[in-house]
Structure 1
Amino acid sequence: MPHELHKESRLLIQEALKDPLVRIPRALKSDYYSHQKGLHLKYLLQVNLFAQFAYASYTLADIYVLTDVHTLLIITKLGFTVLVTLLTIWIYHHKQNLPLFDLLLPTSIIGASAVWFFNLNQSESPYTQIYQYASLVFIVLANLSVHVHFKPSLITSALITLMIYIGVYFNVDGDRQQLILFSLIYLPVLSFSIYISWNSTLKSRIVFLQHTLNEYNRQAFEHMAHTDSLTGLNNRRSFEYLAHRHLLSIVEEDHPDPTSLIVFDVDHFKKINDNYGHDIGDKVLKIIAETACSEMRPTDILARYGGEEFIALLPNTHLDDALKIADSLRQRIERTEVAIDQQQTLRFTISVGAAILETCENDLYTLIKQADIALYQAKANGRNRVEHYDPFISPVLEPQVHGSWSNDRPIKIVEE
């Protein structure tokens, strides 16, 4: 995601965190599901399987209490458990749908409670009215497993409650006193379980939004550390690191692709600042950065190297192609105007120096020095032009006009 979209997303997240319901912004929902999937999918599989095992193990208690329906218990409960377990494993391996998986256990508990009360109502045991209170575990277990969606859990909770009350009604033959007593015990448990579901889903949203906000902030700080604040281009440190990495990568190749480099700066930039002010000078630098960005390819490494100086490493580029790119940039800049006021505009030019990596050695210092010498020649030959470094023609000069590099300060990059 581009940096500007990150900024917009940070604002959305900050607003969402202020919302009492902490609703996930629509633009981040797919990221939310991906994040939750990584955290909870395997956990939900384990919860579903353990829940089915626990449900099946309750058959022992059922057999102990409901002594007259052993065969029915084994067929219905164990059959239902096997069916749901196979369905759970199939969904996990073939669907990987987190919202569906999040509601799988609550949905299966609707059926589990129906099967359980069906068996309970078929028994003539004197303990059935006491044993019906064991159904409270259904609603608790259903809401304990919810981590992603709260609203659908309200629907499943309502259906489980409906199924339980139907079972209780028939189990007590519609006895009003028994129904009231059951409600007095069941409804607080229902409320507590719904709170658990709400709190789990709320925390999941908060954790996701806070994690995403922290990640965006980290990227923003990293972006600031490696980006020129005025132009938005790479800064000197970032350029040297990226360029050095590229040169290291081509050293290992038997026939490395050609790599060229161009250095360019604004002609008479000091006069622009002196005559029109630094705000106009800043506008000039921004326009150059925007124009250079549009001329460069995605693989090129462009940076503001300092002051009015810009630099670009052009991978897989012969010198002739680098000169064409440089001259196209020079011509576009020459045709550009900056508005000083409503009646006055300013035109400006750039000079460009180019060089190509002649050997397989990853000598970034030498390559920059050669391009800077070519830039010095462009300045000496009248400005608003492109020159390339030629070891047979170019004099062995130390840059005097733009002395950004010197022999006693070689470039050192430490791999991160």
Structure 2
Amino acid sequence: MPNEYEKDHRALIQEALNDPLARIPERLKSCYYEHQKALNLKYLLQVNLIAQFAYVVYTLADILVLTDIRTLLIVSKLGFAVVMTLITIWIYNHYQNLPLFDLLLPTSIIGASSIWFFNLNISESPYTLIYQYASLVFIVLANLCVQVRFRPSLITTSLITLVIYTGVYFNTYGDAYQILLFSLIYIPVLIFSVYISWNSTLKSRTVFLHHLLNDYHRKAFEKLAHTDALTGLNNRRYFESLATQHVHANFESPNPTTLLVFDVDHFKQINDSYGHDIGDRVLQMIADVSSKEMRHSDILARYGGEEFIALLTGTNSDDAVKIAERLRKRIENIEVNLTDGRQFHFTVSIGITILETFETDLNVLIKQADIALYQAKANGRNRVEHYDPSMDQSAIQNMKRSWNIESDVKMIVE
């Protein structure tokens, strides 16, 4: 089952998706930028480099139109393109800040359009009035590449528009008719380019939020597939998969590993006396206490019925016994309160075995721990026993006949 933190996050994501603007919650912004960085950083690098190349190509066209200032064009525009290319590559290699990189091209276009209009206004070419309409490409390029944040792009868009209109004003000597004519063409392109920027950033936010929500759903299904529904622990199949991987890895790189098998003493009597609901509560309490005793690297599972199992990695026999004793005592002190005011305690028996460096069969390890577990039961229950080869199969069979309690003896002899 998802914890409260996961539920809160999912509710936050769903609320953001229901927002028409798909605004990213503050606590998710760092995650959003990392996600966009993985998707768009290389793309933004390519767009910036292609834009600088396009600016160079524009310079060749300028040379053909503004023939009287060729030297100034080459020095100013090509120089600017080279400088911006070097800055772009440096930022990409040393300072991969996505929000900054997202606005790098629009910012550079402010400078590029300023240089372009400066040259246009100096030139005496008769084509300058017509050629000023080529500046429309600046606003389109500036908004075409924005992928992450829309509001900051409005600032760069406004500055580019200010530069362009200033250039047009001086280029037309303040002719209102020429400025109006330019505006009738520029403003629709401006609106279109701003829409592109808004739509791109909205799509980026929506895709991220859907990705995050789908990731939660995927993890929930994966967890459901390998989790015991009652206790929330790993189930038997998943435990065997993880433990087998560890056993095989341990053969290649030996590391002290022990296995604990434990189950509830007289669990059938608990069910018969108090009901299966109380029996389920007992198992959930054991799962809760056991989880708190385990480290992140340990593998804990409900193995079936009232039996639990734990693989303790990097743990020798002495430490395993200490952990098992601590666990046994904590479970012994659990108090179960009934609705009628009565209370009762319960205990567990624990069997321990250590993984030998030459052993690669998990079933052998489990069988040894099971034998130690039933030795603990034979010795009075509520105790810890370490496996010893002297605990042979015949002794277990004798225990089974003497107890005459089928539920207390596991099928360890196949």
Normalised by the length of structure 2, the TM-score is 0.92
Please tell me whether the aligned partners of residues 376 and 401 of structure 1 are also in contact (alpha carbons under 8 angstroms): no
Q: What SS does the aligned partner of 2:68 have?
A: coil
1:84-138 deviations in Å (ceiling 9; x for gaps): 1121111111111111111011001111111111111112222211111111111
Shift of 1:213: 2.1
Structure 1 contact 250–360 (Cα < 8 Å) conserved: no
Matched, 1:272 2:274: no
Note closer, same or farther for the CA distance 1:125–1:342 as it changes in structure 2 (3 Å cut).
farther
The corresponding residue for 2:380 is 382
- Code of the residue aligned with 1:90 in structure 2: it is W
Deviates more, 1:138-147 or 1:312-321: 312-321
Which runs of structure 2 are paired with 1:101-140 in the superposition (5 Å)? 101-140=101-140
- For structure 1, which runs of at least 5 residues remain unmatched after alignment? 409-416
> What amino acid is the match of 2:178?
Q
Hey, what does 1:93 align to over in structure 2?
A: 93
Q: How does 1:66-81 map to 2 (within 5 A)?
A: 66-81=66-81
Distance 1:74 1:375, change over 3 A: same
SS of the residue corresponding to residue 326 of structure 1 reads: helix
The CA deviation string for residues 38-94 of structure 1, in whole angstroms up to 9 with x for no partner, is: 221111111111111111211222222222222222222122212211211111111
1:203 aligns with 2:203: yes
Partner of 2:46: 46
What amino acid is aligned across from residue 265 of structure 1 in structure 2?
A: D
2:251·2:357 contact (CA, 8 Å) conserved in 1?
no
Distance 1:391 1:360, change over 3 A: same
Aligned to 2:302: 304
Residue identity opposite 1:68 in structure 2: D
Distance 1:134 1:342, change over 3 A: farther
Equivalent residue number for residue 414 of structure 1:
none
* Structure 2 portions without partners, runs of 5+: 401-405
The correspondence of residues 250-269 of structure 1 with structure 2, limited to 5 A, is: 250-253=250-253, 256-269=254-267
Aligned match of 1:331: 329
CA 393–218 in structure 1, closer or farther in 2 if over 3 Å, else same: closer
CA distance in 2, matches of 1:359, 1:96: 46
Of residues 348-357 and 49-58 in structure 1, the stretch that sits farther from structure 2 once superposed is: 348-357
Q: Against the structure 1 CA distance between its residues 394 and 323, is the aligned structure 2 distance closer, same or farther, given a 3 Å change threshold?
A: farther
| Partner Cα distance (2:65, 2:92) in 1 | 35
Aligned to 1:160: 160
Deviation at 1:402, TM superposition (A): 4.6
- 1:339, distance to aligned residue in structure 2 (A): 2.1
* Greater Cα offset, 39-48 or 185-194: 39-48
Q: Which runs of 4+ in 1 moved over 6 A?
A: none
| Separation of aligned partners in 1, 2:10 and 2:375 | 48
> Contact 1:236–1:304 (CA<8 Å) still a contact in 2?
yes
- 2: distance between equivalents of 1:359 and 1:139? 68
Aligned-pair distance for 1:359? Answer: 6.0
CA 393–177 in structure 1, closer or farther in 2 if over 3 Å, else same: closer
Aligned length: 405
1:246 match? 246
- Give 1:269 shift: 1.9
Q: Cα distance 1:62–1:319, how it changes in 2: closer, same or farther (>3 A)?
A: closer
Partner of 1:295: 293
Q: 2:374·2:409 contact (CA, 8 Å) conserved in 1?
A: no
Residue equivalent to 2:188: 188
For 2:153 and 2:207, locate their aligned partners in 1 and report how far apart those are by CA, in whole Å: 20
- C-alpha distance in structure 1 between counterparts of 2:407 and 2:373, whole Å: 9
Q: 214-223 or 128-137: which moved more?
A: 214-223
Tell me the C-alpha RMSD between the 2 structures.
Answer: 2.0
Deviations 1:152-207 (A, max 9, x none): 10000000001111111111111111111111111110000000001111111122
8 Å contact 1:113–1:135 — kept in the other structure?
yes
Structure 1 residues 384 and 169, CA, compared in 2 at 3 Å: closer, same or farther?
same
Give 1:190's aligned amino acid.
L
Q: Give how far 1:380 is off.
A: 2.9
After TM superposition, the structure 1 = structure 2 runs for residues 9-48 of structure 1, keeping only pairs within 5 Å, are 9-48=9-48
More helix by share: 2
The structure-2 alpha-carbon separation of the partners of 1:341 and 1:146, relative to structure 1 and needing over 3 Å to count, comes to: same
Distance 1:75 1:194 in 2: 32
What is the TM-score when the length of structure 1 is the normalising length? 0.91
Q: Which residue of 1 aligns with 2:403?
A: none
Paired residues of 2:351 and 2:369 also in contact (CA < 8 A): yes
Q: Contact 1:369–1:405 (CA<8 Å) still a contact in 2?
A: no
Q: Distance in 1 between matches of 2:209 and 2:393?
A: 60
Moved more, 66-75 or 188-197: 66-75
Partners of 2:143 and 2:255 in 1: CA distance: 61
Structure 2 CA distance, aligned partners of 1:303 and 1:168? 74
Task: Decide whether the 8 Å contact of 1:3 with 1:220 is kept in 2.
Answer: no
Q: Residues 264 and 171 from structure 1, CA distance in 2 versus in 1: closer, same or farther, beyond 3 angstroms?
A: same
- Aligned in 2, Cα 1:87/1:389: closer, same or farther, shift over 3 Å? closer
Instruction: Name the CA shift for 1:357/1:101 in 2 (closer, same or farther; >3 Å).
Output: closer
